[in-house]
Amino acid sequence: MSFSPGDEYYIEAIIAVSLFILILLFRSIYKAYKGLQSNQWIRKKAMVTHVSIETSEDEDYDLWHKPKIKYNYFVKKEKYSSTRFSYKNLSTRSYSEISKKINGITIGKEIDIYMNYRNPKQAVIERGINYFNFIEPVFLIIFMLFIVNGYNKHMYINSSSNNQLNGHPALKAHENTPDSKQI
């Protein structure tokens, strides 16, 4: 397989994008795994220290909302703190949906959380996963397949065009001239 000038940049870009997608893929698989694992965690009482709705804007100027809650809990007299509401993707454009989700949760209120008894630093208010935990990895895998397919097509086109040029009569005539000496 021969490479054309500029292919090294194409290959570097493919590798960089592929690594980024792999990182996102592992992150989403980890979140799905932890979400499933959280179904086995034990119930614990925690004290709410912060409640808000975080709002962000995407590139289309759509507003997205998600709950932002901080709570403290004790395990064997040691204090722990967490801000994780869930391993589910809770971002939504519906402000009222998030308001309903955190309705009744106020600063100073004691709430039920679910804590990983093997690692008390891990806790959630809402256990489990949602469909997005599966959709995200599927789309990332499909995107990765498109990248690999595009790379294969690029390499095939370059190798076939190089093979066609190698047998071209103008190149053979040029090979025998004094200017064609390679340095």
pLDDT in tens, 15-40: 888 888 888 888 888 888 898 999 99
Same domain, 122 and 48: yes
pLDDT in tens, 153-183: 666 566 655 555 555 555 555 555 555 555 5
Confidence of residue 67 (pLDDT cuts 50, 70, 90): very high
Do 38 and 32 meet the contact criterion of CB atoms below 8 Å apart?
no
Same domain, 119 and 141: no
Same domain, 24 and 68: no
Same domain, 74 and 4: no
Could you tell me the two tokens for 157? Answer: 């086109």
Could you tell me the two tokens for 174? Answer: 């040029």
For residue 43, pLDDT over 80 is answered with yes
Within-domain flag for 6: yes
Same domain, 22 and 52: no
Within-domain flag for 97: yes
Same domain, 73 and 89: yes
Within-domain flag for 143: yes
Same domain, 55 and 123: yes
Within-domain flag for 110: yes
Quick one: CA dihedral 127, 130, 136, 141, positive or negative?
positive
Q: How many domains does the chain have?
A: 2
Classify 128 as helix, strand or coil: coil
Same domain, 96 and 148: no
Within-domain flag for 90: yes
Same domain, 81 and 108: yes
Same domain, 46 and 122: yes
pLDDT at residue number 145: 80
Between residues 7 and 70, which one has the greater pLDDT? 70
Same domain, 64 and 117: yes
Within-domain flag for 50: yes
Same domain, 47 and 117: yes
pTM equals 0.65
Do 124 and 114 meet the contact criterion of CB atoms below 8 Å apart?
yes
Within-domain flag for 177: no
Please tell me the distance from the alpha carbon of residue 82 to that of residue 123, in angstroms, as a whole number. Answer: 7
Residue 63 domain boundaries: 42-127
